[in-house]
């Protein structure tokens, strides 16, 4: 693999193949890299064919170079300016009344820790005897 393909470099290449997971781009006669589907454009890409076709010339940025495996990771998205974020309109909150908790002395339900603590101490003392 040639040393001229460094991480961060920008090249113009030609799309040579499209797969469901990405597009192969030829950087020169001997070298090609893969643009993963997540690096095609800003936003969600369901079908690469809606954005690229074989033979298209694209500007790509080198994201990674794995000389041992002979693979180059590319991005088209990194060469484009990110679109402005549009904020979704906020939905109004519901106007439900807050839950009302009444302080009732009741024998049903859960006992408080304070109520149970003395009972546990007494049980422990009886078990020791």
Per residue in 77-124, pLDDT tens?
998 887 777 666 777 777 776 666 665 555 566 777 877 888 888 888
Percentages helix, strand, coil for the chain (3-state, rounded to 5) are 20, 25, 55
Pairing assessment for the beta strands 22-26 and 71-75 based on DSSP bridges: unpaired
For residues 119 and 126, give the distance between their C-alpha atoms in angstroms, rounded to a whole number. Answer: 11
CATH superfamily of 10-79: Nucleic acid-binding proteins (2.40.50.140)
Q: pLDDT at position 12, please? A: 92
Query: Contact 70/109 with Cβ under 8 angstroms?
Result: no
Q: pLDDT at position 92, please? A: 73
Q: What is the DSSP letter of 37?
A: G
Q: pLDDT at position 99, please? A: 66
Per residue in 22-48, pLDDT tens?
999 998 888 899 999 999 988 888 999
**First CA to last CA distance, the chain:** 84
Q: Domain boundaries in the chain?
A: 10-79
Pairing assessment for the beta strands 32-36 and 71-75 based on DSSP bridges: parallel
């Amino acid at each position: 693999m040639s040393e001229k393909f460094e991480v961060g470099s920008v090249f113009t290449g030609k799309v040579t193949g499209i797969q469901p997971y990405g597009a192969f781009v030829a950087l020169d006669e001997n070298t090609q890299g893969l643009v993963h589907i997540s690096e095609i454009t800003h936003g969600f890409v369901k079908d690469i064919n809606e954005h690229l076709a074989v033979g298209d010339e694209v500007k790509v940025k080198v994201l990674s170079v794995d000389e041992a495996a002979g693979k180059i990771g590319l991005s088209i998205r990194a060469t484009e300016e990110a679109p402005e974020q549009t904020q979704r309109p906020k939905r109004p909150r519901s106007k439900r009344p807050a839950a009302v908790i009444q302080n009732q002395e009741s024998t049903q339900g859960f006992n408080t820790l304070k109520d149970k603590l003395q009972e546990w101490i007494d049980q422990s003392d009886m078990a020791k005897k």
